[in-house]
């Protein structure tokens, strides 16, 4: 039964300082969740040491959060329809702060994993609901600026996470990686409820699709664990990974069939009937998968092969956020004047060009040689994120906005997970293959060994020096190859944007009130 409260249907967009304070709260909440997806990554060794477990066991801190978040992101539309977007958002924010506090005081790994699951369940709906509510409270003429503000937090969060996480672990202690969320969630939750309550959305008393929910948890959980543990267990050579893959595939097929035939589905897959939304989602998966792969690969390569510390690798990555912050509002303003498909195509082509630039890196590259392409990457990112999000959400019906935002965020997160697993596995395999090729093609290796021995190295040390040179070149060739592949994926995504239908007018970001 629909909620007939006047406020649910007759809400007018906010104005003045109230509007921008409310918008900033929504952007801050989104930033907090995005930050938390990466801030714990660099903390795993500290957490493992503090709880007396192995680093491989410590990775469950990341996996448990990712699985829980992946489950609830596509449920956002159902939760908003069932309880109201504002109530769901505020409850999620308060719950996120509570579970963050519990993570900080967890006495064991089991307790920490349980609290991280709770944190992920709360964090999942916050990202898409922050989008939905921004679109609801901002008037049409400011929709582009609102989306630019939201996209800026999405872009900067993954970069700030490793920097902040490393600093906190080194200077304060790993529990503060979680405690930092508590005051933000408390303050933002209180003021969000006070300011956004009039913007509450219409409620529908729909039955709970327990079968769909169960199938969703089954296939997402199996897929996420498979992606997280596959590299460590040699992928499909492991019966455990093979079983997870079968469960994920069969669970996904069963889920799609059930949800497409269920009268009140837990996830509204019918949204994919909109060609603009479907095309935008495919492009998001391709481009974000390639983008996030580089975000993971660069610091990994710098720390394992280039002698960089975590702090210095983080400084290299931080340059990516400089121009992203500057260009986000500009990209948002251009949306009302330029075909958003052209902006998306341009932005992704910038990412492709920068990634191709990286494909010519050499082992002797310096800090500023690494920082320059990161800076250029930040220039193109907002032209990809901001218009593509507007293009996707502008293609659906107003009542489908929350579901569409949840689905798009879920697809983006999944693409990042897939891209990371594929990239790191391919990188290691390519490095091993190149090492074998170079070793077999060495000309007069004994003369090189004699040269090292003449410099004072013993036989074993000389061999290690030679192997180190070969390994350095092998990893560099593998890294360049991966960047070249990512550049190709970006080019495909840039061309694919024209599969989306041309908007009848400038994308109306106010179309989705809830």
Which pLDDT tens digit goes with each residue over 174-191? 888 889 889 989 988 888
* Residue from 251, 228, 253, 250 nearest 238 by CA: 228
Output the domain CATH number for residue 30: 1.20.1250.20
pLDDT, residue 49, reads 79
* End residue of a domain, out of 265, 281, 313: 265
Domain match, 261 and 293 both:
no
Domain match, 201 and 237 both:
no
Domain match, 180 and 286 both:
no
Among 98-102, 167-171, 373-377, name the one with the lowest average pLDDT.
Answer: 167-171
* End residue of a domain, out of 222, 239, 265: 265
pLDDT, residue 39, reads 76
Average pLDDT, the chain: 80
Domain match, 293 and 413 both:
yes
* End residue of a domain, out of 235, 265, 295: 265
Residues in CB range of 345: below 8 A, 6 or more apart: 494, 495, 497, 498
Q: Phi-psi category of 108—alpha, beta or left, where left has phi over 0 and alpha has psi -120 to 50?
A: beta
Domain match, 81 and 148 both:
yes
Say whether pLDDT at 405 is over 70: yes
pLDDT, residue 483, reads 94
Which pLDDT tens digit goes with each residue over 285-327? 999 889 888 877 887 788 778 888 767 777 787 788 788 878 8
Domain match, 459 and 482 both:
yes
pLDDT, residue 4, reads 38
CA distance 130 to 90: 10
Contact 338, 480 (CB under 8 A): no
Confidence of residue 512 (pLDDT cuts 50, 70, 90): very low
Domain match, 135 and 224 both:
no
DSSP conformation letters of 284-317: HHHHHHHHHHHHHHHHHHHHHHS---HHHHHHHH
Domain match, 226 and 354 both:
no
Give mean pLDDT, residues 112-126. Answer: 89
Domain match, 227 and 120 both:
no
Domain match, 82 and 183 both:
yes
Give mean pLDDT, residues 15-33. Answer: 81
Which pLDDT tens digit goes with each residue over 244-283? 999 999 999 999 999 888 887 878 888 888 888 899 999 9
Domain match, 339 and 376 both:
yes
Residue-number span of the structural domain to which 261 is assigned: 209-265
Domain match, 3 and 140 both:
yes
- For the chain, how many structural domains are there in total? 3
């Amino acid at each position: 039964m629909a909620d007939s409260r006047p406020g649910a249907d007759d809400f007018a967009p906010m104005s003045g300082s109230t509007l921008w304070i409310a918008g900033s709260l929504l952007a801050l909440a989104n930033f907090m969740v995005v930050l938390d997806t990466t801030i714990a990554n660099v903390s795993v060794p500290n957490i493992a040491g503090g709880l007396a477990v192995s680093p491989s066991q410590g990775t469950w801190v990341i996996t448990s959060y990712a699985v829980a978040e992946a489950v609830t992101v596509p449920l956002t539309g159902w939760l908003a329809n069932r309880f109201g977007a504002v109530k769901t958002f505020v409850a999620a924010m308060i719950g996120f702060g509570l579970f963050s506090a519990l993570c900080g005081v967890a006495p064991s790994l089991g307790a920490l994993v349980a609290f991280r699951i709770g944190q992920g369940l709360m964090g999942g709906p916050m990202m898409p609901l922050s989008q939905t509510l921004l679109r609801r409270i901002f008037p049409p003429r400011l929709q582009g600026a609102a989306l630019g503000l939201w996209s800026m937090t999405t872009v900067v969060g993954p970069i700030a996470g490793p920097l902040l996480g490393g600093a906190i672990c080194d200077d304060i202690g790993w529990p503060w990686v979680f405690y930092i969320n508590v005051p933000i969630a408390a303050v933002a939750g209180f003021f969000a409820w006070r300011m956004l309550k009039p913007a509450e959305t219409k409620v529908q008393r729909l039955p709970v699709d327990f079968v769909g929910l169960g199938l969703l948890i089954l296939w997402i959980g199996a897929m996420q664990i498979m992606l997280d543990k596959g590299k460590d267990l040699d992928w499909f050579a492991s019966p455990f990974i093979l079983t997870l893959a079968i469960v994920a595939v069969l669970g996904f097929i069963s889920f799609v069939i059930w949800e497409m035939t269920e009268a009140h589905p837990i996830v509204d897959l019918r949204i994919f009937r909109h060609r603009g939304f479907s095309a935008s989602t495919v492009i998001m998966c391709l481009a974000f998968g390639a983008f996030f792969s580089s975000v993971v690969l660069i610091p990994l390569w710098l720390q394992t092969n280039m002698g960089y510390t975590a702090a210095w690798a983080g400084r290299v990555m931080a340059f990516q956020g400089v121009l992203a912050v500057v260009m986000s509002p500009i990209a948002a303003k251009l949306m009302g004047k330029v075909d958003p498909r052209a902006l998306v195509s341009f932005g992704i082509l910038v990412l492709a060009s920068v990634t191709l630039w990286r494909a010519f890196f050499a082992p002797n590259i310096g800090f500023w040689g690494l920082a320059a392409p990161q800076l250029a990457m930040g220039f193109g990112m907002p032209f990809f994120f901001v218009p593509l999000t507007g293009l996707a959400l502008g293609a659906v019906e107003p009542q489908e906005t929350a579901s569409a935002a949840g689905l798009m965020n879920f697809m983006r997160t999944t693409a990042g997970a897939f891209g990371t697993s594929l990239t790191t596995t391919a990188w290691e395999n390519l490095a091993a293959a190149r090492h074998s090729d170079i070793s077999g093609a060495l000309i007069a290796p004994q003369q090189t060994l004699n040269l090292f021995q003449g410099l004072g190295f013993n036989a074993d040390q000389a061999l290690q020096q030679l192997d180190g040179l070969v390994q350095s070149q092998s990893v560099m060739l593998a890294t360049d190859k991966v960047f070249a592949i990512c550049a190709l994926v970006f080019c495909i995504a840039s061309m694919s944007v024209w599969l989306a239908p041309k908007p009848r007018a400038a994308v109306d970001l106010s179309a989705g009130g809830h």
